[in-house]
Structure 1
Amino acid sequence: VDESKLELDTVEKELKENEEQIRERAVTIKRIQTEMATTKRIMEEIMSGDKATKLILEARENGEIEGIYGTVGELCKTHPKYSLALNITAGNRINYIVVEDDKTAARCIEKIKKAKAGRITFLPLNKLKPLVINPQIRDKEVIGRAIDLVKFEPKYRKAIEYVFGQTLIVKNLDAARRVGFSYRAVTLEGDVVNPSGSMTGGYYKGKKQERIALIVKDEAKLPQLETELAELQEERDRLVDYRTAIARELNDELLPQLSDNIRNRDLRERDLKSTKEEIQLRSEENIGIQNELQQLTDEHLHLENEINELISMKKDLSETLLRLQEAETELKEAINRSGFQELMDEIKQKEQFLEELQEEKRELEMTHFKKESQIEDNKNKISDCQTERVEKEKEKPTIEKQHDEVIQQITTLDNQYSVIKERRDEIIDTIQKSNDEMEKLKGEQRALRKRLEEDKEIKNQQLILIERLQTERKEANNKITELEEFATEQDLPYIFAEDEVMDVEVLNEVLTGFQAELESMPEINMKAITQYEEELELNQELVERKQFVEKDFNAIKQAINEIETEKRKKFMKVFEGISKNFNRIFGILSSGGRARLDLEDSDDPFNGGISVMANPGGKKIISMLSLSGGEKSLTALALVFAIQRYKPAPFYVFDEIDAFLDVNNVSKVATLVREMSKTTQIIIISLRAPMIAAAEKIFGVTAGENHISQIVSVSLDEIMKIVETNDMAMEAASI
């Protein structure tokens, strides 16, 4: 009994533990399922745009397409304190996929199109030309460039610079307002200030993707938890069965005793439980005391070791101090005897001064080292720029040749477009005429078919009537013949009743009337069927001609679309090139200024014009129409120079382009014109000294005798030689 009871207790305990584990697993599973249900909408929103991304990443994993590196978010890491600001900086571009080259991107796009999986943006590393800001801002609230706060492999630099290269990360909105209207600035709280003047901010509900990541992680654990729950339930069932068997055995053998024992056991269990709880409490307190005691013991040993070391050090120091005191006494006596004290003071001063000089030397060396590093960096940058400039100069003839070819192609395409458009108009007119003619023939065909059916119906009715009358007439004639034969055989007089004779006459009259009516009817067109077949063949021919014309029309339409696409592509290439040159040259002419060209209709560039936008001297960017006279002149010149730099003309004439400019801007324009003159011949009409001073040759127009204009030509080199000669002569005379 005792053994059975002990075994039953063990089973009860295991069963209780099993029930507790089952409850814990069930609660965990329910929590995960609840969170999964509540976040299903969020996950669907996030995953709805990731169908294409998932498709491409699967192609990367199974090796279907090579050169896929992953999303921008996968390829870069950052400190958690900057994650919100960098997520706001990247926006949707965090999901852009980085690929090796544009061929890989094209293959990925074709795969997405076939799967109809949506749209996604790719960043081919061989085509990206990101713009990266490098501001010199001294503001303690500015943390730095976003690109500097991201960790990534060097080979992905172009893609990461494309996403993060033009943004500053700052601590707060005040700092963003100070720098954000010159550069795009994002605060640590996610507020944004753009150079265009717009500001974005407010409450940002973050952690959504982190929460979903945790839920996905919990979801991965769900099958394991369900398996564990099933195993625990099986174990519980086994324990319940085992407990039932033991209980049945005890009931069969010693039920009364067992009942008493169970009651006693319950009492003892309650006492034991309270005792266990007290023991557990005491054990926890004891463990805490033991830990504290052990800690104190360790500290005590450590202190004893330190005390022993200090005692030993004290002993050594005492001996050393004693020796030093003796040496000091001897030294003082010697100094007093030699009068050496003043010399020692001077030495101390020199040593102190020497230490200050050494400290200053170290600081200067550090500054020198930093400057050398900066100089080296600048040299490298200058070398890179020179190399790039040489390469660009080498590429310039090729680019110009390509540009000429493109212009020639555009001209050819325009001519082809005009011819095709005329041909299309002719085909459309032909199709319209064919359609009208076909409709007319169809109407005639329907009328002819209706008339033919009516004629057939009338003819059939007449034939039926004639056949019936002929049958009746034949029967009447047969009857008359029979009567005549009967009268002959019987020797009867050949006399008939008047009404019988009248019937035959009536029939003859009716028959004669029908024959006359039939003869009076118009003749039936027996060629109607043949004509119908001819019209049907003509209709089929017109249908085939229509299909051929429609096919030709679609081909022409496709060719026109291709020409329009190519024309737009060539236009956008020229537009973007001139726009970049415009911004660069305007920045030179207007220090700190920026400019750009905007399409009035970006979807259809040929449907609208081009707006010229500028912000001279760092002002707010506005339309060129709102600028002052001098600013308009400067902006217009920058645009002309931008066009000249993209496609130089062999000859330019400028008439007083500097009239509204101040001296400083005239000098800048003169410098640019001087640079342009290396590849282009330029004639400028000007009255401004800085512009005249920059000219290679000067032509002056003055009124001569009888008010006739007189042209005077002079070279600056000749003037300089004359001035030098006069200076030398004056110097010699003074000697």
Structure 2
Amino acid sequence: ARDEWLQKEIDELEHVLSTNLSQEKKLQDEINQLNAQLNAQDDFIRSRKAALAEVESNINNSRDGFLNLKGQRDRLQDERKSLWERENELSSEIEKLKSEVVKAEKNLDHATPGDIRRGLNSVRKICREYNISGVFGPVIELLDCEERFFTAVEVTAGNSLFHIVVDSDETATRIIRQLNAIKGGRVTFIPLNKVKPPHVTYPKSDDVVPLLKKLKFLEPYAKAFSQVFGRTVVCRNLDVATRVARTDGFDCITLEGDQVSKKGGMTGGFYDYRRSKLKFMNIIKQNTKVITLKERELEEVKEQLQVIDQKITEKITEQQKIDADRAHQRSEEEQIRRDIADANKQKKSLSNALEKKEKLLASVRTQIEQLNANIALKRAEMGTDLVDHLTQEERNLLSRLNPEIREMKEKLMGCRTQLVEIETKKLEIETNLSTNLLRREQELEAVKSSVESEALSAEIELKEKELDEAKSLVDEATEELKRVSESMDNKTKELKAIKTENDRLQKLREEYEKQLQKEAEELEQLASNTNMLRAKQEEYSKKIRELGALSSEAFETYRRKSIKELHKMLHRCNEQLQQFSHVNKKALDQYVNFTEQREELQKRQAELDAGDEKIRELISVLDQP
């Protein structure tokens, strides 16, 4: 019966052994599979780290390229800023020059006679509308000279400055017909094909200079200028001009505009240089030339601005491309880092699983060894005699140990219960750890891996450069604001001073207006008194004429008398004159007039008598045979 029981135990142990063996094989296969997966994960992590290094290198290169492009763009923007300032400066200068040209043209128009000005404008219009060529322009536009000769040239030429030089008389005829048709004023033409300049020999003296030699003009117009200025010389002073005009027969002029004609006439006096036509024309020419240069420079600046704008646009486009590439590479970097993190997580999970499998395999192998040992022990026990070999001491020990075994079994049951509870808590903690804490750790690891030290230092460097640039811009803006504030303060002070001066002038104007009004009233009173005194003067003159002619002594006799004394004397005189009211008061004047008439009649009678005598003598001579 014992052998059967042992055989039964052996069969059960062998069944368990076979199960454990199959479980050992299964665990070994799983361990091999986990090791293969771990090796695959290691290879994957190494490949992803290599790809990450490449991507980080590309990102660094992109950052360097971006910084280089940013530096080029900033330099181009600084250059564009300076060109903008130059453009604004040129535009303001051109506007100022154009306003000066317009002002000079208006002054020249005011200094030009109306008909001539209208005729010149009409000629320009006719040439433009009918496309007439061969018109070179007025003399004033074709000549140039030093400023000190302006007065001499203007006085010499007079209105000849506005004579229009043309190539032939046919051109002049065509224009004159059109002028007559539109009634467009009067113009004098100088046709070069008809002009015959005079051949003159200028006097050789340091005090005399031919005016023609001081003028600058093109050679084709030499005939026209010889016609206008060929017979005039510039003299040092008026005495030299008088001598040269008398001896050499030239029209002479001084730098002050005093003229001496070869016919003997002299013209001179003050000449207002401020209204000089040549000065206005010189301003127009010089400013027009400068405007042309400035406009050409402005066009060059605008072209440079267009080129720079195009370059800046290209740099910005390249920066945008680099930004897009960097964003793509960063996203790729983040994806690689996530892949590495996931692979590490998977590797860790596989390592944990492998560790558990290895522990489980060791436990299974231990159980197998125990089962083999038990089976061998059972097999060895089979066939032996069933004899109680226990001693009394062993029996007593067995009796003492049985209760302990039961107690130990109860403790074992309790421990198993606690083990189940602890494993349950462990499972809950592991679940929380895997679902929350590990996930949070992975997120933090991903953030940490996405912000590497090199990339962070590069970003810090970039941001520091941008901060420095922003600070420099702020400093420039602060300086500009300071300059503008100082300028505003100065302008405010100037405005305040101007306002104070304006108030003072306004008060002064009011005082002057009051004074002017007062003086106007006084002037009106004086005018009234003047009219009254003139009326009295006429009345007294009439009375004096009625009195007849007075001797010169009468004026000196009563000059120092006061008005009161004169009135008394006049009153006494009037009373005395009333006694002679029947006497003819104009008798003396009539006597003088009659005496003069008698003398004149006597002279005429004597002339008539002398003529009668001459006639009688002629008759007697004619009557002789």
Say yes or no: TM over 0.5: no
The structure where helix makes up a greater share of residues is 2
Calculate the TM-score normalised by the size of structure 2. 0.34
Calculate the TM-score normalised by the size of structure 1. 0.29
The structure where strand makes up a greater share of residues is 1
Which structure has the greater CA radius of gyration? Answer: 2
